[in-house]
Amino acid sequence: MFGEEVVADGFVRAGWKILGHRVRTKVGEIDLVARRGATIVFAEVKTASPGRLNVELAVNTKSRMRIRHAAVAWMATNPAHQRGVNRYRFDVFLVHRDADGGLARVDQIRDAF
């Protein structure tokens, strides 16, 4: 949850509205759903402890399909949030913690899949 909170705060500071946090659907979960203007982002957040490598590999083909299906399910049940939207994006955020458990850095992979 640390990573999700960090990413959500970053979205809000950048002028995005958080539409959902830890959104559960029948087919899977989406960490964050955010909107700014005509764009909705479905965000997958991975948090890494110091020394943990290959966080990117945690979002494999199976995970991507689950997130896509969850996004479709979310869209089907939230049509009001989609008015005026013409772009959907799937981003992956890699939140790296320092040795003390604090925030070291956040990497964003836009249009990750």
Q: Enter the pTM of the model.
A: 0.90
- CA–CA distances in Å: residue 3 to residues 27, 50, 97: 23, 14, 9
Q: Kindly give the parts of the chain with pLDDT less than 50.
A: none
What's residue 60's pLDDT?
87
In this structure, which amino acid lies at residue 113?
Answer: F
What's residue 25's pLDDT?
96
What's residue 85's pLDDT?
94
Q: What is the 8-class DSSP label of residue 46?
A: E
Half-sphere exposure of 73 (CA within 13 A, CB side): 14
Residue 29's beta-bridge partner residues?
Answer: 24
Q: Which domains does the chain have, with CATH numbers?
A: 2-109 (3.40.1350.10)
* The pairing of beta strand 39-48 with beta strand 28-36: antiparallel
